[in-house]
Amino acid sequence: MGSRPVATVGALAVACLVLGGCVSAKHAAGAGDPQRNADAKHATLTISTNAISGGKNAQEADWITKELIPAFEKAEKAKGRNVTVNYQANGIDDAKYGEKLELSLKAGGGPDLFVVGGDSIATYAAAGYIAPLDKVVGGEANSWTGWKQVDAAVKKNVSMNGRYYAVPNGVDGRVLYYNKKLFVKAGLPADWQPTSWADILAAGRKLATLSGVTPIQINAGTPMAEATTMQGFLPLLAGAGAEIYDAKAKKYQGDTKAVRDVLSFYRTLYRGAKLGDPRLQQDPNGRDESFTEFSQGKLGIIGESDYLWRSVVCPTKSVCNATAMPDRNSTVGYAMIPAERPGSGVGGQDFVSMSGGGGFTINPHTKYPQQAWDLLTFMRSATQIKAQLGSTVQITANKQVNDEILARDPALKFIADKVIPITRFRPSEEHYTSVGALIEEATGQVVAGKPVDEVAKAYQQGVVKLVGADHVSSN
Partner 1 sequence: MLFVAPALALIAAFLVFPALWTLYLGVLKYDLAGSNAAAPQFVGLGNYRDALTDPRFANSLLLTVAFVGLSAVLGQNVLGFLLAAVLRDAASWVRGVVNAVVLLAWILPGTVVVFLWQALLDRGGGTLNALLGTPGAAWTLDHPLATIVAFNIWRGTAFSMLLYSAALGAVPRSQLETARTYGAGPLRTLRDVVLPHIRGHVLTNTLLITLWTFNDFAPYMLTGGGPDHRSETLPVYVYRTSIEGGALGYGSAISLIMLIVNLAIALFYLRLLRRRSA
Q: Which residues bind partner 1 (CB under 8 A)?
A: 1-2, 5-6, 9-10, 13, 16-17, 20-24, 27-28, 95, 99, 102-103, 106, 120, 123-124, 126-129, 221-223, 279, 282-284, 289, 430-431, 433-434, 437, 444-445, 448
Please report which helix (H) or strand (E) contains residue 302, including its range. strand 299-305
Distance CA 226, CA 151 (A): 25
User: By C-beta, is 199 or 283 nearer to partner 1?
Assistant: 283
User: By C-beta, is 105 or 167 nearer to partner 1?
Assistant: 105
- Alpha helices of 315-367 — where are they, by DSSP H? 317-320, 328-331
For strand 113-117 and strand 42-48, is the pairing parallel, antiparallel, or unpaired?
A: parallel
| Distance in Å, CB of 9 to partner 1, minimum | 5
Q: For residue 367, which phi and psi values (nearest 5 degrees)?
A: -80, -25
| Distance in Å, CB of 130 to partner 1, minimum | 10
| Distance in Å, CB of 178 to partner 1, minimum | 23
| Distance in Å, CB of 285 to partner 1, minimum | 9
User: By C-beta, is 97 or 373 nearer to partner 1?
Assistant: 97
User: By C-beta, is 29 or 247 nearer to partner 1?
Assistant: 29
Q: Which of 223, 203, 132, 265 is nearest to 440 (CA)?
A: 223
Beta strands in 65-222 (DSSP E): 82-88, 113-117, 159-160, 163-164, 167-168, 174-179, 214-217
| Distance in Å, CB of 209 to partner 1, minimum | 20
User: By C-beta, is 2 or 139 nearer to partner 1?
Assistant: 2
Distance CA 263, CA 205 (A): 19
Answer yes or no: are the C-beta atoms of 342 and 336 closer than 8 Å. no
Q: With 0-12 CB in 10 A as exposed, 13-18 as middle and 19+ as buried, what is 129?
A: buried
User: By C-beta, is 126 or 247 nearer to partner 1?
Assistant: 126
Distance CA 238, CA 212 (A): 32
SS3 state of residue 352 = strand
Residues in the chain: 475
- How far CA 286 is from CA of 20, 221, 277, 306, in Å, comes to 43, 10, 10, 19
Backbone angle region of 398, left / alpha / beta, with phi > 0 → left and psi within -120 to 50 → alpha: beta
Q: Which of 306, 353, 288, 297 is nearest to 330 (CA)?
A: 297
User: By C-beta, is 48 or 433 nearer to partner 1?
Assistant: 433
DSSP code, position 336? P
| Distance in Å, CB of 430 to partner 1, minimum | 5
| Distance in Å, CB of 353 to partner 1, minimum | 26
User: By C-beta, is 304 or 440 nearer to partner 1?
Assistant: 440
Distance CA 292, CA 281 (A): 14
Q: Which of 408, 404, 414 is nearest to 392 (CA)?
A: 408
| Distance in Å, CB of 255 to partner 1, minimum | 18
| Distance in Å, CB of 313 to partner 1, minimum | 19
User: By C-beta, is 37 or 461 nearer to partner 1?
Assistant: 461
R_g (Cα) of the chain, nearest Å: 24
> Helices 369-379 and 382-389 meet at what angle, rounded to 10?
60
User: By C-beta, is 28 or 152 nearer to partner 1?
Assistant: 28
| Distance in Å, CB of 124 to partner 1, minimum | 6
| Distance in Å, CB of 437 to partner 1, minimum | 6
User: By C-beta, is 27 or 180 nearer to partner 1?
Assistant: 27
